[in-house]
Amino acid sequence: MAYDNIVVPNDGEKVTVVGDELKVPDNPILAFIEGDGIGYDIMTASKRIWDAAVQATYGGQRKISWMEIYAGEKASTIYDGNYMPEETFDAMREFIVGIKGPLTTPVGGGFRSLNVTLRQVLDLYACVRPVRWYEGVPSPMKNPQDVNMVIFRENTEDVYAGIEWEAGTPENEKLAKFLREEMGATFFEGAGLGIKPISAFGTKRLVAKAIQYAIDEGHDSVTLVHKGNIQKFTEGAFRKWGYEVAKERFGDYTITEQELWDDYDGHQPEGKIVIKDRIADIMFQLSQLRPAEFSVLAAPNLNGDYLSDALAAEVGGMGIAPGANIADHIGLFEATHGTAPKYTNLDKVNPGSLLFSGVMMLEYIGWREAADKIHTAYQKTLAQNIVTYDFARQMDDAKEVKTSEFASAVIANL
């Protein structure tokens, strides 16, 4: 495909999908969106680390060919004021795997949020957020080493679908009249009204991805997190459809928590994943009081959003929490924090969130040895007390360094 402003590197090859699997060449073309604000600093630092880890692991036999694609402020200067050019979507569809820095949402622009737009247009229905603690990272938990969970948040439905009408508008009044007169609903005059769609299709594809991940990565449970005691036909249905897809598609690999006690006396049989569910509010407590009991979590959009940030706080906060938005095959990995505009070009912030999103990307393309090398080098760097300002202010004997110096320290430890 020909592009106006995207330069496709000629020393790389495309990642393709064969059957249901990604086929990754030794020199894959991976896309990146630099991001606004601190995007330049963290993307530059992280790319140095990813490239060095690939070189150190495969000695030149494998190499990433980076292809820059555009969104946000950089796009607007290149595409004449367009913050979200169409060819960015085309490039993600063609090249399948990419990573992005944070994006400013232009106030009063055509889009509600560039991130939401990317997710919706590319139908990136699973937002995946691993939450694990690295020794040396300041944490509010007594035993942060017990926190090791991966959240699969549904990305396309729920109250995020944007189906809502402002109080006082004719549309709102029409809907209010219908709900009162034809559906027998009662609510206060002048209420804003929103719709929360949750479907079997949206739920099952999300929960199936979470279970497949648990199987592939050797996790022992998948917990459906929902508010089904109150919202029976949306959150409650999420729970019901989640159990259904576990039986229908993964019956050989899964048992329910009920079956664990009824049939196995509480002893988890080898090779089986336990599917359980928890109501969202108690899940927030349990994630702090008994985190070791949970590994993979699957949640509808809004609860998954809250849960992702709350759990990230347990292991060091947004400066280090990585994430990915994944469709059936397309994977767009991303820093989970924003553009932190006051730190733009100061070479100051923590590159951890983007760095570990890239580590997830290396795992996604099957380059696990390089990903593991970064985990180990990062831990060594922390053990040397070398950190950026955000961790330094929570530690007694930190050696505070710039973003670029932190990257150099990790590379030296590879």
Which residues are marked as active site? 160, 227, 281, 305
Our CB check for ligand NAP shows the closer of 112 and 232 to be 112
Do 104 and 339 touch, CB atoms closer than 8 A?
Answer: yes
Which one among 64, 69, 99, 103 touches ligand NAP, defined by CB under 6 A? Answer: 103
Question: Is 104 near ligand NAP (CB under 6 A)?
Answer: yes
Smallest distance from ligand NAP to CB 106, Å: 9
Contact status, residue 32 vs residue 67, Cβ threshold 8 Å? yes
Looking at residues 283 to 322 of the shown chain, list those that interact with ligand NAP (rule: CB under 6 A).
318-319
Our CB check for ligand NAP shows the closer of 28 and 317 to be: 317
Residue 22: C-alpha distances to residues 65, 130, 295, 328 (Å): 17, 21, 25, 10
| Smallest distance from ligand NAP to CB 39, Å | 9
Q: How far is CA 379 from CA 285, 382, 411, in A?
A: 28, 5, 12
* Beta carbon nearer to ligand NAP, 273 or 312: 312
115 or 287: CB nearest ligand NAP: 115
Cβ at position 124, least distance to ligand NAP in Å: 12
From the CB of 378, what's the least distance to ligand NAP, in Å? 15
**Helix/strand/coil (H/E/C) assignment for every residue in the chain:** CCCCCCCCCCCCECCEEECCEEECCCCEEEEEECCCCCHHHHHHHHHHHHHHHHHHHHCCCCCCEEEECCCCHHHHHHCCCCCCCHHHHHHHHHHCEEEECCCCCCCCCCCCCHHHHHHHHCCCCEEEEEEECCCCCCCCCCCHHHCEEEEEEECCCHHHHCCEECCCCHHHHHHHHHHHHCCCCCCCCCCCEECCCCCHHHHHHHHHHHHHHHHHHCCCEEEEEECCCCCCCCHHHHHHHHHHHHHHHHCCCEEEHHHHHHHHCCCCCCCCEEEEEEEHHHHHHHHHHCHHHCCEEEECHHHHHHHHHHHHHHCCCCCCCEEEEECCCCEEEEECCCCCHHHCCCCCCCCHHHHHHHHHHHHHCCCHHHHHHHHHHHHHHHHCCEECHHHHCCCCCCEECCHHHHHHHHHHCC
Residue number, 50 or 241, with CB nearest to ligand NAP = 50
* Binding window for ligand NAP (CB under 6 A); candidates: 77-85, 96-104, 224-232, 305-313: 96-104
Phi and psi, residue 250, nearest 5°: -130, 30
In terms of CB distance, is 241 or 378 closer to ligand NAP?
378
Site string for ligand NAP, 326-365 (x = CB under 6 A): --------x--xxxxx-------xx--x------------
Given candidates 27, 82, 105, 212, which one binds ligand NAP under the rule CB under 6 A?
A: 105
Q: How many residues sit close enough to ligand NAP to count as binding (CB under 6 A)?
A: 19
Instruction: Choose between 103 and 224: whose C-beta lies nearer to ligand NAP.
Output: 103
Site for ligand NAP in 107-146 (CB under 6 A): 115
Window of 59-67, 102-110, 184-192, 223-231 that interacts with ligand NAP by CB under 6 A: 102-110
Closest distance of CB 104 from ligand NAP, Å: 4
On the CB side of 328, how many CA atoms lie within 13 Å of its CA? 8
When the beta carbons of 319 and 322 are compared against ligand NAP, the nearer one is 319
Q: Which of 34, 158, 314, 390 binds ligand NAP (CB under 6 A)?
A: 390
By CB under 6 A, the residues from 19 to 48 that bind ligand NAP are 38, 42
CB 220 to ligand NAP: min, Å: 31
User: Minimum CB separation from ligand NAP for residue 302, in Å?
Assistant: 16
Q: Which residue is nearest to ligand NAP (CB)?
A: 338
Residue 102 binds ligand NAP (CB under 6 A):
yes
Minimum distance from residue 338 beta carbon to ligand NAP (Å): 2
Residues that bind ligand NAP (CB under 6 A): 38, 42, 102-105, 115, 318-319, 334, 337-341, 349-350, 353, 390
